Structure 1
Amino acid sequence: MSAKTKLALLDNRPRRRAAQLTQSLRLGVALLGAVYFGYYYWLLHRILLGEAISPEEMVRADGGFQLVEGVQFVIVLLAFLAFALWLYRAYQNVHRLPQTDPAHSESMAGWSWVIPLLNLWYPYLILQEIGHYFSRFTNSAMAHTPRWKALLLSWCILHIGIFILGPVVRSMAKLPVDNLAALHRFALVILLDQALIMASAVVTLAILKTMVPLEHNVAATHAALRATSELSESTTKGIE
């Protein structure tokens, strides 16, 4: 039995479920944010057109803006951590499969999220490798299907788009409240940000759903391989 075959695969189901749950929450909060920020944009648009808006209505809008933004920050952070932990565990299992030669160390699946510039495309490369080796190990064509390739490319583009737009949103958030035209543009940028977050959550959920049967088959195939190898070793020792 090879050294890799002796290692049992790590159970990634709890992490995958956590990633699916938090991505669903991320999608829901982004949808709520899009509705609310759309309302905020509409209010500012009315003011710019010369329509009178009561101070109480603007105060409520500003308060709601801060609340939605705060809740979304927490959910997005949890979704990021859950997905990163799932990715790290999945890449650990790639390293435990026989006849694999991953391009990166296990720890790179974690570091790839925090190293500047590398974090733009390295998680995408890690995802590619996971799909490739899991498919090869189970004799599946999943990693070579147009759908899988489109999902990964879409995920990467959205990931980069959100990463680039984030600093723009944070800088525009410091605009003076009396600059209505600038706030109007800011609300529009936030709506774009919400659209990217929603699209990213949908694509991430599709990736995780695609991985469910593949991870199951990898675990089952590897367990059967270990059992066969152990039985073969026991038989050989018995003969000796």
Structure 2
Amino acid sequence: MEPPALHPLRGVTRCAVAALALAGGAWIARGVWQIRLAKAGQPLSGPPDQGEGRHRPLTALEDSYHFVSACGDVLTVLCALTFLVWLLRARDNARALSGRQPRHALPWVYLGWVVPVANLWVPRGIVADIHRASAPEARLPRTVDVWWGLWLVGAASGAGLMYTGTTDAVVARAYSNVGPLLAADAAVAGAAVACALMVRALTGAQESRTGSPRSGNAIGSTAGG
């Protein structure tokens, strides 16, 4: 019997891995600038946001951190969009390989990241289902759990992915207590690396079912234990 026709993944996998690398690098750059801020110390004039709608002029270092942070935000959004494109194609391929409907309906591919409580397990479940359908006899790659654990740390830290404060507030935190910021940066950067390995592993698992060239074959076999 002919293997099922799958969406090509090599191109989107390369794009996703590149975007993840850029996003991870951006979070490392945030950490470097936060260390620079902490070493420089808060100016005698106080934090940038001085309350009651008053803001003092930024120093050159603070202004450069705003630029680094803005670039990081753009790269993080680009990374998220690229990863979702890969996830949707891999999900469609998994359905073709297994002949079964995915456990999570299509809206959850998007809603699973933002709906409270569900966002603690739905995205990982979608990825695990993709692997289960693509390589039913193989163990779930360890990179899936590493990625998800670091993602949750980075999202729930109060200083990472889901931080809703202003950049000036981050600058003030870097002056007063940089440790939690650096921990969040490290978790997000680590999650990006683990996610890139996971993307390659799952792509390799799917392509191995059809005999296609596998860009992630070696990593997939290693990650599978």
- How does the TM-score come out when normalised to structure 2? 0.74
Which amino acid is 2:105 matched to?
A: S
Give the counterpart of 2:33 among 33, 36, 46. Answer: 36
Indicate the larger mover: 72-81 or 21-30.
Answer: 21-30
Q: Which residue of 2 aligns with 1:184?
A: 175
* Structure 1 segment 50-89 matched on structure 2, within 5 A: 59-89=59-89
Structure 2 Cα separation of the partners of residues 200 and 6 of structure 1: 33
Instruction: Check if 1:152 corresponds to 2:144.
Output: yes
Which amino acid is 1:131 matched to?
A: H
Indicate the SS of the match to 1:170. coil
* Structure 1 segment 85-104 matched on structure 2, within 5 A: 85-100=85-100, 102-104=102-104
Indicate the larger mover: 60-69 or 166-175.
Answer: 166-175
Q: What is the deviation of 1:114?
A: 3.7
Which amino acid is 2:64 matched to?
A: G
Instruction: Check if 1:27 corresponds to 2:27.
Output: no
Note if contact 1:95-1:106 (Cα within 8 Å) is conserved in structure 2.
Answer: no
Note if contact 1:169-1:190 (Cα within 8 Å) is conserved in structure 2.
Answer: no
Structure 2 Cα separation of the partners of residues 98 and 176 of structure 1: 47
Which amino acid is 1:77 matched to?
A: V
Aligned residue pairs, count: 197
Relative distance call for 1:107 and 1:94 in structure 2 (3 A) is farther
Q: Which residue of 2 aligns with 1:235?
A: none
- Deviations 1:30-85 (Å, cap 9, x if unpaired)? 222222211111112797xxxxxxxxxx7111111100000000001111111122
Which amino acid is 1:217 matched to?
A: S
Q: Which residue of 2 aligns with 1:141?
A: 138
Which amino acid is 1:156 matched to?
A: W
Q: Which residue of 1 aligns with 2:200?
A: 209
Which amino acid is 2:193 matched to?
A: V
Structure 2 Cα separation of the partners of residues 176 and 206 of structure 1: 30
Which amino acid is 1:44 matched to?
A: G
- Deviations 1:195-235 (Å, cap 9, x if unpaired)? 111111111112123224212212338xxxxxxxxxxxxxx
Structure 2 Cα separation of the partners of residues 167 and 22 of structure 1: 16
Q: Which residue of 1 aligns with 2:154?
A: 162
Q: What is the deviation of 1:108?
A: 2.9
Structure with the bigger percentage of helix: 1
Which amino acid is 1:115 matched to?
A: V
Instruction: Check if 1:12 corresponds to 2:3.
Output: no
What is the percent sequence identity of the aligned residues? 20
Structure 1 residues without counterparts, runs of 5 or longer: 48-57, 222-240
Q: What is the deviation of 1:20?
A: 0.4
Relative distance call for 1:172 and 1:187 in structure 2 (3 A) is farther
Q: Which residue of 1 aligns with 2:220?
A: none
- Computing the radius of gyration from Cα coordinates, the structure with the larger value is 1
Structure 2 residues without counterparts, runs of 5 or longer: 45-57, 213-225
- How does the TM-score come out when normalised to structure 1? 0.70
Q: What is the deviation of 1:110?
A: 3.4
Indicate the SS of the match to 2:164. helix
